[in-house]
Amino acid sequence: MRGTSSQSGIRRNRRIAILSPNFHMKAMKAILLYLAACLAVGAIAVGQEKSPGPHFMGSESCRGCHLKEFDGWKQTRMANVLRDPHEHPEVVLGDFAHPDPVLSFSLDDVALVYGSRYKQRYFAKRGDDYFPLPAQWDVGRKRWLPYHVEAGTDWWVPYYGPSNFDRPTGPTCDGCHSVNYNIETKTVTEWNVGCEKCHGPGSDHVSHPTRQNIVNPETLDFVRGNDVCIQCHSQGRPLKNPIAGRYFDWPVGFLSGERLSDYWKLEELKPGATDFYQFADLTAHKNRMQGNDFVQSNMYHRQIRCFDCHQVHSNENESNLVQQGNGLCLGCHNKNNPAGLKGTVSDHTHHAANSPGSDCVACHMPHIEVTIKDNFVAAHTFRFISPVETDQSGIPNPCTSCHKDKTTAWAIDALRKWPNVSPWRVGN
């Protein structure tokens, strides 16, 4: 049934209103505002994609303003971990002049030389990867030793083939021996532990130097400050593995200033177990585990940082220490410190002044962590290891490690007779 003429007129008026120019203008404005909003959001997103953070520049870019620190660092092992033996023949320590049954390659096969203090290893390049050659030079004893990571040792071994040439250094080593190792292109900004390994990418700082646009480990909280060093001086594994189809033995993606625990998990501690990684008291069993030791220590708990003792911009003292001998320890462990000495060093050690037995590190940082055969580095838990623990679990103690002609029973008896030390502390 059709409506009345008045109703039809109303409908016609509505259609006219809907189609009026005024309505069109309002509709167009609304559409344009919506499109503008979409474009603005898109522009922001595109801007974010095109505006990455600061990028890596290389250590040479730091020299101009930080010449003293640069020149000091340049002399350290940090700056000279990896060298090209053809450009720098003076870095080669191994004896390639005389035949040796362990040595199965020539210097011509070597693309990079690694290390100079305890050991020197040699890397060959095949394609875009480097691989460790099967012999290493014992620097102290001047001898060739085999180099091959055996089954049942490092956690990553089952994920690679049995030969050294199945095990590229990219995923197993290079992230710590370079700045900005790219896991896709297998390229680096620079080899060695350059400035930006500890200070982060420096392009913003180079173009406009301020204290706010560069990482200074000194100004970080003690956790992130120590993480700068622990990223490489620790044994662990990435939280996400495999990465791009390979298993990495260094914290991929971590930048100094961030929290290492967001990228890296330290090797699990197993109280009472003695294995490739640890002794039964949880002290590390091998090199490159200073961080694993340190985070257990009272020093770490009291917020001491690695660089309170080590100065990586100087090679003046052994191990880049800020001071030689007991002076480094006694700067804090003095009579004003509850953890300091109450008498002389000799009173504390029961050894003659200035003798090896009166070195703080002799008892508190014994060299028991293996780096290569018959070569050991210092523990960093700072705990005194009693000879009782040697009897219980086999961990070396500093007493009979020095007094090699004595027994643990002799050492325990001597400790229990020290009048100024609790027998419960050192003899049980």
Exposed, middle or buried: residue 107 (CB in 10 Å: 0-12, 13-18, 19+)? middle
Contact indicator for 249, 171 with CB cutoff of 8 Å: yes
H or E stretch at 361: helix 360-364
> In 3-state terms, what secondary structure has residue 327?
helix
**Stretch among 32-36, 136-140, 418-422 having the lowest mean pLDDT:** 32-36
Can you tell me the distance from the alpha carbon of 428 to that of 415, in angstroms, rounded to the nearest whole number? 9
d(CA 225, CA 217): 5
**Can you give the pTM of this predicted structure?**
0.86
Q: Bridge-partner residues for 122, per DSSP?
A: 113
On whether the CB atoms of residues 143 and 159 are closer than 8 A, the answer is no
* String of DSSP letters for 190-245: EESS-HHHHH---HHHHHS--TTSS--GGGS-HHHHHHHHHTTSS-EEESS-SBTT
User: Which range among 1-5, 80-84, 220-224, 272-276 shows the weakest confidence by mean pLDDT?
Assistant: 1-5
Dist CA 219 CA 229 (whole Å): 14
Q: Exposed (0-12), middle (13-18) or buried (19+): which is 183, by Cβ within 10 Å? A: middle
> What DSSP designation does 268 have?
P
Write the pLDDT tens digit of every residue in 403-425.
999 999 999 999 999 988 887 87
For the chain, counts of helices (H) and of strands (E): 17, 12
User: Six-digit token pair at 338?
Assistant: 């509850």
pLDDT at 42 over 50: no
**Average pLDDT score over residue span 77-98:** 98
Query: Once rounded to an integer, what is the mean pLDDT over residues 368-389?
Result: 96
pLDDT at 35 exceeding the cut of 50: no
pLDDT at 23 over 60: no
pLDDT in tens, 249-281: 999 999 999 999 999 999 999 999 999 999 999
Neighbouring C-beta atoms of residue 291, cutoff 10 Å? 25
Residue 185 has pLDDT above 90, yes or no: yes
Task: Quote the CA–CA distance of 140 and 295 in Å, as a whole number.
Answer: 30
Average per-residue pLDDT in the chain?
Answer: 90
